[in-house]
């Protein structure tokens, strides 16, 4: 975190970076003071003889509250500049700030119908059912691939080799492209559907859209990269389950109980969940079945 000019704070929250201007921080500070003693206590700085230090701390806390109004800042510990230097924490912050945060993400989408238990049958499904199309329209927007200038995640945008359409989404400056198996060309004489699997099998997260009561077994898909499966079951509301490789620690946001979502809440939750794991891991051997 740092303050400079009229920018009072640069920080990250829920995997997004925020810039808070001094005017916004002062507005939040003023509103918090008006809301009463409990709210003001969140902005009380550590005791300091230096008025400027105290004022800066109050503004920094107000800046955080302007974006994260539910955080209880009383549980936070403030470190002096001397402490951050002597402990090496300052260098760690600099290294973290220099990390390249990916702006592009790709996720697979695979549909499963009743009675289908093998990856060959899953990758051979073609066309979108109404339920699957409705779901894709919630989490993204349909685009024509030929001539598409945005992030295509390896899909062909010139000759039509990857199909005519796909779905994309934009969220807080991030570009997301979905590899929808059922929209890619079907190769009649190719039992393994190599074209489709070459895209989805190299993703880290795959959406499994289950149409019917069929159970999904992640071990049925041979892939060195797929580590997280998000299971979608269309009901009166969308039901979500998560299967993750045992090397993948639990990641947010947490799935509520019951795990049902209406259209309004689905896109935000789904995007955050998919982005929860984006680094390549070791080839999967076993899975934690459900979160």
The answer to whether the CB of 193 falls within 8 A of the CB of 123 is yes
- If you classify domain 104-276 with CATH, what class do you get? alpha beta
If DSSP codes are grouped into helix, strand and coil, which group holds residue 272?
A: helix
pLDDT of residue 15: 52
Question: What does the alpha-carbon distance between residue 41 and residue 66 come to, in Å, rounded to a whole number?
Answer: 16
Dihedral, CA of residue 102, residue 99, residue 172 and residue 134, to nearest 10: 30
Domain ranges of the chain: 51-99, 104-276
Asked if 109 contacts 206 with a C-beta cutoff of 8 angstroms, the reply is: yes
Q: What is the mean pLDDT of residues 264-275?
A: 68
Give me the DSSP letters along 134-202: HHHHHH-EEEE-TT--S--TT--SSS-TT-SEEEEEEETTEEEEEEEGGGSPP-TT-TT-HHHHHHHTT
CA distance 120 to 252: 32
Decide if 64 contacts 9 (C-beta within 8 A).
Answer: yes
pLDDT over 90 at 272, yes or no = no
Q: Which two tokens stand for residue 169?
A: 């989404």
User: Tens of pLDDT along 12-46?
Assistant: 655 555 667 777 788 887 887 777 655 555 555 54
pLDDT in tens, 168-204: 998 777 899 999 999 999 998 999 999 999 999 999 9
Which distant-in-sequence residues (6+ apart) come within 8 Å of 34 by Cβ? none
**245 vs 227: CA distance, rounded Å:** 5
- Dig out the tokens for 160 from the structure: 């039509």
Q: What is the pLDDT of residues 41-55, one digit of tens each?
A: 555 554 455 555 677
Question: What does DSSP say about strands 205-211 and 228-234: parallel, antiparallel, or unpaired?
Answer: parallel
Give the residue-averaged pLDDT of 236-253: 77
Mind listing the pLDDT tens digit for each residue in 103-155? 888 999 999 999 999 999 999 999 999 999 999 998 999 999 999 999 999 99
Q: Which two tokens stand for residue 97?
A: 């700030």
φ, ψ at 126 (rounded to 5°)? -130, 140
- Per-residue model confidence (pLDDT) at position 280: 35
- Selection from 221, 54, 223, 20 nearest residue 122 by Cα: 221
């Amino acid at each position: 975190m740092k303050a400079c000019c009229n920018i009072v704070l640069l920080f990250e929250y829920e995997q997004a970076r925020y810039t808070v201007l001094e005017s916004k921080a002062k507005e939040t500070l003023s509103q918090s003071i008006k809301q009463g003693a409990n709210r003001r206590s969140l902005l009380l700085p550590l005791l300091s003889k230096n008025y400027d230090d105290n004022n800066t701390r109050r503004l920094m806390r107000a800046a955080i509250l302007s974006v994260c109004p539910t955080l209880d800042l009383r549980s936070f510990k403030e470190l002096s500049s001397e402490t951050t230097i002597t402990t090496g924490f300052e260098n760690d912050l600099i290294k973290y700030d220099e990390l390249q945060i990916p702006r592009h993400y790709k996720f697979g989408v695979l549909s499963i119908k009743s009675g289908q238990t093998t990856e060959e049958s899953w990758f051979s499904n073609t066309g979108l059912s109404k339920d699957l199309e409705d779901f894709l329209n919630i989490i993204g927007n349909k685009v024509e691939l030929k001539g598409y200038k945005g992030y295509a995640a390896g899909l062909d945008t010139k000759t039509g080799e990857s199909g005519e359409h796909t779905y994309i989404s934009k969220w807080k400056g991030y570009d997301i492209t979905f590899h929808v198996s059922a929209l890619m060309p079907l190769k009649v004489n190719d039992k393994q559907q190599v074209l489709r699997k070459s895209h989805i099998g190299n993703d880290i997260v795959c959406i499994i859209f289950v149409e019917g009561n069929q159970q999904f077994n992640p071990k049925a898909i041979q892939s060195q990269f797929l580590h997280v499966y998000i299971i979608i079951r269309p009901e009166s509301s969308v039901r979500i389950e998560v299967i993750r490789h045992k090397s993948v620690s639990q990641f947010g946001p947490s799935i509520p109980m019951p795990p049902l979502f209406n259209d309004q809440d689905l896109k935000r939750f789904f995007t955050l969940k998919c982005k929860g794991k984006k680094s390549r891991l070791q080839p999967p051997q076993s899975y934690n079945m459900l979160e």
